[in-house]
Amino acid sequence: MQSNINIHLISIQNLFSEYGIRNISMDDIAKNLHISKKTIYKHYSCKNELVKDIYLNEYYHFKTSLHTLDKENNDAISKTIQLYNFTILKILSVKEHVHFDLVKCYPDFYNKLIELYKEAIRKKYIEILLEGKADNYFNNNINTYSVAHVFKLLIESYVLDQMSKSEEEYLLSCDDVFDYHFRSICNPVGLQIWEDLKSRELVSKQS
């Protein structure tokens, strides 16, 4: 990915987000960016390459943003909440027609991309779990890999619940999700931190 085309990737992604990937041609991109198609084809032989580069670039940005958890939060409980929020916001930010186009037109790439996201989240949460155990917030006997898997399932359940909200009378709240999760893995010290965060409404403000 060359720097002189890299500055346009976000603008191109915005076009995809507004109109759909399938509905935007290379001609449309060149016209909207006020550049020639020749400039684009210097770096990408086809639209498929451009699409893959855009969404891989978005993935790397997400992966880099996970490092801010260590700067913004002092304890593993807060980092867990923020990781959850990062992930939920990322999933819900993808417009339905973009998701459909990726699944329909780029199925192999889409599946690989999803696995990259899952692996980045899993690795980050394992780091948080190990940190929480070392700081005596989480039970020492928890299996970090199993807990990280359950964490992923909680995210998926919450997203599905939100997406079907027009059909459901009751929606899971973040408090519901974290109550279940933290009561499963925290010792009394960790639970007290969670209860304190919840009482100060920090969870709702972050969600």
Residue 110: pLDDT over 90? yes
Residue 37: pLDDT over 70? yes
What's the pLDDT at 166?
A: 47
Rounded to whole angstroms, the Cα distance separating 191 from 170 reads: 26
What is the model's pTM?
A: 0.84
Each residue's pLDDT tens digit, 160-189: 666 555 444 555 567 778 888 999 999 999
Rounded to whole angstroms, the Cα distance separating 17 from 11 reads: 10
- Detail the DSSP E strand segments found in the chain: none
pLDDT band for position 3 (cuts 50, 70, 90):
very low
What's the Rg (C-alpha) of the chain? 20
What's the pLDDT at 161?
A: 64
Q: What are phi and psi of 23, to 5 degrees?
A: -85, -5
Rounded to whole angstroms, the Cα distance separating 154 from 137 reads: 20
Residue among 84, 48, 56 at smallest CA distance from 175? 84
**3-class secondary structure, 186:** strand
